[in-house]
Amino acid sequence: MAKLTGIGSIKRFGPRYGRTIKQKYGEIEAESRKKHKCPYCHKEKVKRITTGIWQCRKCDAKFTGKAYTISKKLLIKEEVNKEK
């Protein structure tokens, strides 16, 4: 059997569900569990409470965002359109 290394929390699924699905799930899970930057106090203390609800552990601000992350990744096209 192949040695499972570097796959983090998705080891719990074992051989089930397929490789690509487990990798995508692992990326999403890692993104949602990491500390994010607070839009109010700018400290990296924000944790996800539930889907789309985030709370800063420093300033105790509670706010909504995307389901798995706070910030929206802007495309270069969108930035150029905003400047015009």
State pLDDT tens for residues 11-59: 899 889 999 999 999 988 888 888 888 888 889 999 999 988 999 999 9
User: What domains appear along the chain, each with residue ranges and CATH number?
Assistant: 10-69 (2.20.25.30)
* Tokens found for residue 83: 């400047």
Q: What is the mean pLDDT of residues 58-68?
A: 89
Helix, strand and coil percent figures for the chain, each rounded to 5: 35, 15, 50
pLDDT at 74: 46
Q: 4 in the Ramachandran plot: left (φ > 0), alpha (ψ -120 to 50) or beta?
A: beta
CA separation for the pair 13, 48 (Å, rounded): 23
66 in Cβ contact with 52 (< 8 Å): yes
| pLDDT tens sequence across 20-33 | 999 999 988 888 88
Q: How far is CA 51 from the centre of its chain?
A: 11
pTM attached to this predicted model: 0.67
